[in-house]
Amino acid sequence: MDAEKTSSRKLDHIRICIDRDVEFSKSNGFERHELAHNALPEARLSDMDTSTEFLGKKFRLPFIIEAMTGGSPGTESINRNLAMAAEELGIGMGLGSQRAMLEDPELAYTYDVRDVAPGIFLLGNIGAVQLSMYSINEIRGLVRDIKADGIAVHLNAAQELSQPEGDRDWRGVLANIGKFCRKAGFPVVVKETGCGISGDVARKLEQAGASCIDIAGAGGTSWIMVESYRGSESAKAFLEWGIATAESLMQCRKAVDIPLIASGGIRTGLECAKALAMGASLAGFALPLLKPATESHQAVSRKLSGLAGELRKAMLLAGTGNIEELRKKGCKSTG
Ligand SMILES: Cc1cc2nc3c(=O)[nH]c(=O)nc-3n(C[C@H](O)[C@H](O)[C@H](O)COP(=O)(O)O)c2cc1C
């Protein structure tokens, strides 16, 4: 795949995600989990402490902006708006796949956000399949060049299979992740992109040395849907493929001890609160921030502040004053 094709496919994705309905019909599953109500919270909303620590870095909110873009001229403003908002709110951020930057190093500027977000926890991004095509040093260079704190390695077999030009050979991916984790020298987050991660897979990734798993479950952005808008007829049978986010989170939490990021269709602060109570360290959002990021960093901050306000209300109503108490509280499954 040459740089021009990768870059124009990325722009297609952004356009489709902004203009069309690209979400699963099925839900993320959080409606089947409840935080118990506390009618006597004995606390003040403004005192809710949302700060937390993730992989050694302090966050003011337990949020991360999920990987979306970079690699096409014009996408730099999206990344910079996201990064400025992340800096303002004290949260983390992932950049989109840096495959385009491997194919054409001149595109590095589209991922360059450190100057506007010096303090944030920042992740680079690469497809797991690319680990077999480039040397460990080349991948490490991606992180170094954008001054990131680590990298997210994405697993997206369902999306690739629905792209006519997508990868078809997924042999050896786990071994390559293991080799990379051993040599990386920085945190390696392994993530899905909207089909979720099962407990069994999580266990293998933990053994391979992943620092964290971002489950990116089903119920939010559907890449199969995006590819079907790009003309993939064969994708249509798989539109609802994937493990719902809440189910994936429960399976992974039982299976592994490493930190988990809950993402995939998380759309309210209440869903964030439930995800944290079910064992996630952070909640991640992609699609809800895309359109605001095409407007301004203030628009991204407004969206995230709304989610933070809902999280604080959920914490108060559950009778938990900080993130640690929320984690200990747990959620009740209602079926
Ligand atoms: C426009 C767009 C582009 C994305 N590009 C990437 C990517 O390059 N790498 C990646 O790991 N995930 C990518 N994702 C997946 C997200 O990081 C996230 O895992 C997924 O969209 C689920 O979250 P959501 O339902 O809040 O959108 C992208 C998502 C969107 C909406």
Q: What is the pLDDT of residues 172-192, one digit of tens each?
A: 999 999 999 999 999 999 999
* CATH number for the domain that contains residue 222: 3.20.20.70
Q: How far apart are CA 14 and CA 287, in angstroms?
A: 10
Q: What separation in angstroms does the CA of 283 have from each of 72, 225, 316? A: 27, 23, 18
- Asked, for residue 39, whether it belongs to a domain, the answer is no
Residue 1 pLDDT greater than 70, yes or no: no
- Asked, for residue 103, whether it belongs to a domain, the answer is yes
Locate the DSSP E strands across 98-157.
Answer: 122-127, 150-154
Average pLDDT value for the chain: 96
- Asked, for residue 96, whether it belongs to a domain, the answer is yes
Residue 312 pLDDT greater than 80, yes or no: yes
- Asked, for residue 223, whether it belongs to a domain, the answer is yes
- Asked, for residue 33, whether it belongs to a domain, the answer is no
Kindly give, in sequence order, each residue whose CB lies less than 8 Å from that of residue 45, ignoring residues fewer than 6 positions away.
Answer: 312, 313, 316
The reported pTM is 0.97
- Asked, for residue 27, whether it belongs to a domain, the answer is no
Kindly give, in sequence order, each residue whose CB lies less than 8 Å from that of residue 199, ignoring residues fewer than 6 positions away.
Answer: 251, 252, 254, 255, 256
- Asked, for residue 115, whether it belongs to a domain, the answer is yes
Separation of CA 65 and ligand 1 centre (Å) = 9
- Asked, for residue 28, whether it belongs to a domain, the answer is no
Q: How far apart are CA 37 and CA 317, in angstroms?
A: 6
Q: Which ligand 1 atom is the nearest neighbour of the CA of 17?
A: 1
Residue with tokens 């902006």: 65
User: Each residue of 57-103: pLDDT tens digit?
Assistant: 999 999 999 999 999 999 999 999 999 999 999 999 999 999 999 99
- Domain range for 310: 3-18+45-333
At residue 335 the predicted structure's pLDDT band, cuts being 50, 70 and 90, is confident
Other Cβ atoms closer than 10 A to 49: 15
Indicate whether residue 96 lines ligand 1 (CB < 6 A): yes
What's the total number of domains in the chain?
1
Other Cβ atoms closer than 10 A to 76: 18
Residue (of 218, 107, 106, 92) closest to 150 by Cα position: 92
**What average pLDDT score do residues 226-253 get?**
93
CA-derived radius of gyration, the chain: 19
Q: Which ligand 1 atom is the nearest neighbour of the CA of 191?
A: 11
End-to-end CA distance of the chain: 45
| pLDDT of res. 2 | 66
**What average pLDDT score do residues 41-68 get?**
98
Which residue, by CA, sits nearest to atom 19 of ligand 1? 193
Alpha helices by DSSP H, listed for 198-286, are 199-208, 223-229, 245-255, 269-277
Other Cβ atoms closer than 10 A to 53: 12
Indicate whether residue 79 lines ligand 1 (CB < 6 A): no
Separation of CA 82 and ligand 1 centre (Å) = 14
- Phi, psi values for residue 23, rounded to 5°: -100, 155
User: Which H or E run includes 326?
Assistant: helix 323-329
Give, for ligand 1, the residue of 10, 66, 93, 160 to mutate: max count of ligand atoms closer than 8 Å to Cβ.
66
